[in-house]
Amino acid sequence: MVKNKLGGNQGKKIARKNTFINKTTVVSKSDEEIYGIIVKVLGGSQFEVKCNDNINRLCLLRKKFTGKNKHNNFIKSGVWVLIGIRNWETKKPDKLEKCDLIECYSEQDKIYLQNYFNVDVLLKEEKNFEDEIIFEDDIIFEDEIDINDI
């Protein structure tokens, strides 16, 4: 058997690539980028977004948000996002317009966006999500069964 001259696992000495912690809030830089709130998660890396211009669009999850970077971007109903509109794609009349996800915002980023940008539609839609929360603890049983009868 060959003697291990270097002493142990060499993979530990390799520097990690994705350790950049200082994250700044990404804001809209052009007219093709717009703010939105996720209304419904459809599955297969697709979800429905209500945009700040009051239009529902079909948003597609890009490769950037999968794999190692998945833990930073929890995508669920009620999350604010920045999307890129596909102006090069023709819109079919009976289907939702497609767009791409650019950024997911945290709770701290929401406060920043409320102070500096007009996001009234997103705030109204977020209140609708809070009103629609249904608790499953309120279960009502119609038939009462006495344990002594069993």
For the record, the structure tokens of 91 come out as 């819109």
Q: If we measure between CA atoms, which residue out of 36, 46, 32 comes closest to residue 86?
A: 32
Is the pLDDT at 102 greater than 60, yes or no? yes
Question: What amino acid is encoded at 121 in this protein?
Answer: V
Which CATH number does the domain 30-123 belong to among 3.90.1150.10, 3.40.190.10, 3.40.50.300, 2.40.50.140?
2.40.50.140
**Residue 119: its pLDDT value, please?**
81
> Residue 99 class from Cβ within 10 Å (0-12 exposed, 13-18 middle, 19+ buried)?
buried
Give CA–CA dist 80/75, Å, rounded: 9
Is the pLDDT at 141 greater than 70, yes or no? no
Give CA–CA dist 110/108, Å, rounded: 5
Is the pLDDT at 4 greater than 80, yes or no? no
Task: Write out pLDDT tens, residues 19-50.
Answer: 656 577 888 888 899 999 999 999 888 999 99
Per-domain residue ranges for the chain? 30-123
Task: Write out pLDDT tens, residues 50-72.
Answer: 998 889 999 998 777 777 667 66
